[in-house]
Amino acid sequence: MLTWVIITFISGIILIPIIRKVAFLIHAVDTPRERHAHIKPTPTLGGLAIFISFSIGFFLAPIDRTGTLPVYLGAVIILLTGLIDDVIELSPKLKLLGQILAAVCVTIWGQVTIEFINVPFFGPLDFGVFAIPISIIWVVAIINAINLIDGLDGLAGGVSIIALMTIAGMALLLQDAFVAPVAFLLVAATLSFLIFNFPPASIFMGDTGALFLGYMIAVLSLMGFKNVTFISLLVPLIILGVPLSDTFFAIVRRLKKKMPVSSADRSHIHHRLMALGFTQRQTVLLIYCMALLFSITGFIFSFSTTWGSVVLLLLLALLIEIIVEFIGLVGEDYRPILNILQKIHRKRP
């Protein structure tokens, strides 16, 4: 399998310069605007190189691809959605439609769904007719989480690699013969792109790459952790803690300001860290560390006892809340926990 991972990586290295030239030819170029961190026009479509190099490895490697056609066709749908958006800029509704179509393809046709979970202290909870809607929401949510965090050079690619490595590691422990090798091929394809995308980037993955990676992470996490315990279901959520937290608090922030949920702002986690004085590269590396911390926690979480998992989850939630308040992710005036800690400190003799 290592041979095919290396071939996938080399394919990506070869493809990136070609895709850069194609992006310029079809005007798939990101011109700097007010919300952007880059200062010169940069070609997008890097995600196309990720997809093609992954596909080369996927179809050549000795993987059992039985029943995976819906997964791949869903990937093609989401890729085309991102590709069109990078070239002509789709409306949010049309982009969401493409995401839903991809999710429907893999859940209804491919039957990759969360059928039930075993809830601690209560027993099994069968989702029944809600299995497909819940699974579709899962896929769309993770797609958008990866897409939203794609705001700095190397950020979405690095966070995706950390998540995919963790999913692959968990799949190896579960002896999953499909999820693990596919995740490693995705890591190789994304790593080859990251070489050209790490600050300062010479190419962006664009929505082509962010939507594709989000889709694959969502599907692999479903395939690797479906029909298991409630505790195990939380593992992929913890692994994706950085992008999912950023998405959740972006929604909270916009609702608080009575803004449309789909509206853009400069208050995402990378914006707030840079506002605190970190450089672009420092911000990216700091978020990598956060993502790695979440991934390690996910590993520990999956092997903990029920009560140990509950305690770990509470500590993780407290840590997230303190980080959110410290960097002002919801708003600079939102500091309930920090205000309490400050009052306690003042009362000390």
| pLDDT reported for residue 208 | 93
Residues 157-187: tens digit of each pLDDT: 999 999 999 889 888 888 888 999 999 999 9
Predicted confidence band of residue 232 (pLDDT cuts 50, 70, 90): low
Residues 91-117: tens digit of each pLDDT: 889 999 999 999 999 999 999 888 777
Are 26 and 213 in contact by the 8 Å Cβ rule? The answer is no
Predicted confidence band of residue 237 (pLDDT cuts 50, 70, 90): confident
Collect contacts of 16-24 with beta carbons under 8 A, ≥24 apart: 16/46, 16/49, 16/192, 16/193, 16/195, 16/196, 16/203, 18/49, 19/43, 19/45, 19/46, 19/48, 19/49, 19/203, 20/196, 20/202, 20/203, 23/203
User: Which residue in this structure is represented by tokens 């926990």?
Assistant: 337
For the chain, the maximum distance between any two Cα atoms, rounded to a whole number of angstroms, is 69
How big is the chain, counted in residues? Answer: 349
Are 194 and 158 in contact by the 8 Å Cβ rule? The answer is yes
pTM, entire model: 0.87
305: left (phi over 0), alpha (psi -120 to 50) or beta: beta
Q: Which helix (H) or strand (E) holds 232?
A: helix 230-239
Question: What is the mean pLDDT of the segment spanning 211-232?
Answer: 78
> For residue 142, which of 239, 259, 53 has the smallest C-alpha distance?
239
Q: What angle do CA 277, 280, 284 make, to 5 degrees?
A: 110
Share of the chain above pLDDT 90, in %: 38
State the CB neighbour count (10 A cutoff) for residue 111: 13
Look at residue 242 and give its three-state secondary structure.
helix
Share of the chain above pLDDT 70, in %: 91
Residues 272-301: tens digit of each pLDDT: 888 888 888 888 998 899 889 888 888 787
Structure tokens of 72? 């791949």
Answer whether residue 226 shows pLDDT above 90.
Answer: no
> For residue 15, which of 52, 65, 57, 42 has the smallest C-alpha distance?
52
Predicted confidence band of residue 57 (pLDDT cuts 50, 70, 90): very high
> For residue 261, which of 155, 144, 90 has the smallest C-alpha distance?
144
| pLDDT reported for residue 227 | 46
Structure tokens of 85? 């958006």
Residues 243-255: tens digit of each pLDDT: 888 888 888 888 8
Give the separation between CA 107 and CA 117, rounded to whole angstroms. Answer: 17
Question: What is the mean pLDDT of the segment spanning 76-82?
Answer: 96
Task: Give residue 165's Cα distance to chain centre.
Answer: 12
